[in-house]
Amino acid sequence: MKLALFIIGVTLIIALIVMVAGIRQHAGKRDADYLLHYLKHNENWSLTVVRNDETLVAVREDEMYPLASAMKTIIAIEYAKRCEEQTLDPSRSISLEELDRYYIPDTDGGAHKAWIAYSKDKGLLLGNSTTLENVVKGMMAFSSNANTDYLIDLLGMEAINESLDELNIEKHEALYPVTGAMLIPTYLKMKDPSYTDDYIETKIKEMSKEEYIRIAQTVSQHLKEGEKGLYIENGYSSKRLDKIWSDRLTRSTTFEYSTLMGKLNSKNFFEKETQDRLDSVMEGLMESPINQEWLKHAGQKGGSTEFLVTNAAYATDKEGNSTEVALFTNELGAGELDKISGSLNSFMLNILRDEDFRNELKEL
């Protein structure tokens, strides 16, 4: 079974290198200029940039866009809150077999395998287990969908979605199992093999949000109960179904996510224990010695599919300048997707370090 779905794609790379200052400055400027040029000549994007509590850019910031993996920040917040309440232990041992139940090969851009390889290299595996905190890091830094759906089950989808109100987020659709939704076409085809491609496409397009989420939950429960092999054996997908899945991903706005990044950046919105847990899973950027030279703290979460790239980030430098950025795109062609993904690191870095570049953004 091979689905052409990459909810993280370049996001793994972004998670590991974005904001690193030690890049070749001229090359970085060219990359950033490509994305700036794209934004000037297209309208399939939304951008909010806040610098020292002043909104510099707010273009289509109230329009709803599919979030891809950017929504996983909400799950991380619920996890951190449970740790603060002492209803979850971050050192709790989690079997890789439990996570593997949710893992469908060739559907996540190599994220889950990369996380396991990283965990082995860093000595984070004890036999065939790892800590709950490392599972959350796998969701955030590597964007493992298997880890995501495991955590949705552990934390409870209802509780995760209720946290949106606690965070004062108004424009945000409900979260639901990522892989479960990805396998809805396979679920329908197994239910009735006589269903045609057109019928399945139309049915999924026209499903209410409630029915779509209900089926995604049903599929996720099947995976939990050990039916992964059945879904792999009967894997059913197409380019058009991939697009429908991407379009139906949880949506929100760059205003909401830049505001959320501001809460994380301030270090005073959440209880201290909650904030400490969030820092542990969100601020992998600060593992870089180069970033440590000029940044006080920084974190981000982005995502991608074949058709879109998203990123939401925050940083405070050692001069005390705070910055929050949320950029959402959609309806990208293959060439555009690759170029934007390759430019995003330099784009974010220039927002943080180049006042002239920030002034150019104001003209969008």
Residues 90 and 190 in one domain: yes
Which pLDDT belongs to residue 3?
A: 38
Q: What is the pLDDT of residues 299-320, one digit of tens each?
A: 999 999 999 999 999 999 999 9
3-state helix vs strand vs coil in the chain, percent to 5: 55, 15, 30
Residue 10 confidence (pLDDT) above 90: no
Q: 3 in a domain, yes or no?
A: no
* Domain total of the chain: 2
Alpha-carbon span 80 to 240, nearest angstrom? 37
The DSSP bridge partners found for residue 251 are 66
334 — pLDDT class (breaks 50, 70, 90): confident
Q: Using alpha carbons, list the distances in angstroms from residue 333 to 87, 112, 238, 309.
A: 45, 26, 17, 11
Same domain for 201 and 213, yes or no, is: yes
Q: Tell me which residue range forms the domain holding 213.
A: 72-247
At which of 207, 224, 247 does a domain end? 247
Q: For residue 56, what is the domain's CATH number?
A: 3.30.450
> Tokens at residue 86, please?
């002492």
pLDDT of residue 211: 98
pLDDT band, very low/low/confident/very high, at 81 (cuts 50, 70, 90):
very high
pLDDT tens, residue by residue, 94-152: 999 999 999 999 999 899 999 999 999 999 999 999 999 999 999 999 999 999 999 99
Domain assignment of residue 6, yes or no: no
Which of 247, 279, 312 delimits the end of a domain?
A: 247
Do 208 and 343 lie in one domain? The reply is no
Average pLDDT over the chain, rounded to whole? 92
pLDDT of residue 5 exceeding 60, the answer is no
Buried-state track 49-81, b at ≥16 Cβ within 10 A, e below 16: bbbeeeebbbbbbeebbbbbbbbbbbbbbbbbb
CA distance 224 to 237: 21
Secondary structure class of 168 (helix, strand, coil): coil
